Amino acid sequence: MFAPLDVRGAFQIRRATLLDLNPIYKLEKSIFRRDAYTRLELFIQLALLPRARNFELVNEARDIIGFCGAMDNILPGRPAWIITLGIAENYQGQGLGRYLLDFTERQLRSGKVRLTVRVSNYPAISLYESHDYIHRKRLRRYYPGGEDGLEMEKRLD
Ligand SMILES: CC(C)(COP(=O)(O)OP(=O)(O)OC[C@H]1O[C@@H](n2cnc3c(N)ncnc32)[C@H](O)[C@@H]1OP(=O)(O)O)[C@@H](O)C(=O)NCCC(=O)NCCS
């Protein structure tokens, strides 16, 4: 068992590793449904991506109830990316998404971070706006089904 990196009440943040691929895949599918990353994409995120910063949130029973996959850019001066952020449905609305996002941002070494979100995803956009992300650009028909994406950015330095 890995030591927690951060603790909030009964919840702990741990570094996510390839050993967690199956529960993270299950969690992602339950949260994102048709937008969920495939098992292969999550394998790459957990095992192969250079400068990946992957963190999981676990409850008292040590079940993984949140995941944030991010990466610092290998090119100097280029932004980091939040690749995925999700909290299990029955744990949403308790401040845990904000907690995991905040922790992940503090692990990044780049001067800015970007992410992409569906334009209709009001809860996530609201979280990012309240975390000082600005709207950078709209990505036409970016998501499956043809919905636009919104690219958002935050300065970290
Ligand atoms: C987006 C998500 C990560 C937020 O996590 P969460 O734990 O539910 O959010 P928190 O309780 O930490 O709330 C933080 C902020 O998010 C926003 N928010 C969260 N749920 C919201 C809702 N249902 N409606 C509006 N805003 C909401 C609010 O700004 C909130 O701040 P406040 O409590 O001060 O109002 C979570 O809802 C989730 O996993 N959603 C599905 C996956 C997803 O869309 N991920 C983002 C993809 S880019």
Q: What is the pLDDT of residues 94-150, one digit of tens each?
A: 999 999 999 999 999 999 999 999 999 999 999 999 999 999 999 999 999 999 999
pLDDT of residue 100: 98
Residue 9 clears pLDDT 80, i.e. is over it: yes
pTM of the full predicted structure?
A: 0.96
Q: Is residue 2 within 6 Å of ligand 1 at its C-beta?
A: no
Q: Is residue 103 within 6 Å of ligand 1 at its C-beta?
A: no
Instruction: Compute the distance between CA of residue 79 and CA of residue 18 in angstroms, rounded to an integer.
Output: 25
Residue 31 clears pLDDT 60, i.e. is over it: yes
Whether domain 6-155 has CATH 3.40.630.30: the reply is yes
- pLDDT tens digit sequence for 18-29: 999 999 999 999
Which atom of ligand 1 is found nearest the CA of 94?
11
pLDDT of residue 87: 98
Which atom of ligand 1 is found nearest the CA of 98?
12
DSSP 3-state percent helix, strand, coil across the chain (nearest 5): 35, 30, 35
Nearest CA to ligand 1 atom 27: 123
- Per domain, the residue ranges of the chain are 6-155
Residue 58 clears pLDDT 80, i.e. is over it: yes
By percentage, how much of the chain surpasses pLDDT 70? 99
Q: Is residue 31 within 6 Å of ligand 1 at its C-beta?
A: yes
Instruction: Say if residues 28 and 87 touch (Cβ distance below 8 Å).
Output: no
- pLDDT tens digit sequence for 60-92: 999 999 999 999 999 988 999 999 999 999 999
Q: How many CB atoms lie within 10 A of CB 28?
A: 21
Q: 106: which residues sit within 8 A by CB, 6+ positions away?
A: none
Written as one letter, the residue type at 149 is G
CA of 4 to the centre of ligand 1 (A): 23
pLDDT of residue 43: 98
pLDDT of residue 99: 97
CA of 97 to the centre of ligand 1 (A): 6
CA of 128 to the centre of ligand 1 (A): 9
The length of the chain is 157
Q: How many CB atoms lie within 10 A of CB 76?
A: 7
Q: Is residue 124 within 6 Å of ligand 1 at its C-beta?
A: yes
Instruction: Band the pLDDT of 1: cuts 50, 70, 90.
Output: low
Instruction: Compute the distance between CA of residue 139 and CA of residue 122 in angstroms, rounded to an integer.
Output: 16
Extract the tokens encoding 28: 């992602």
pLDDT of residue 157: 83
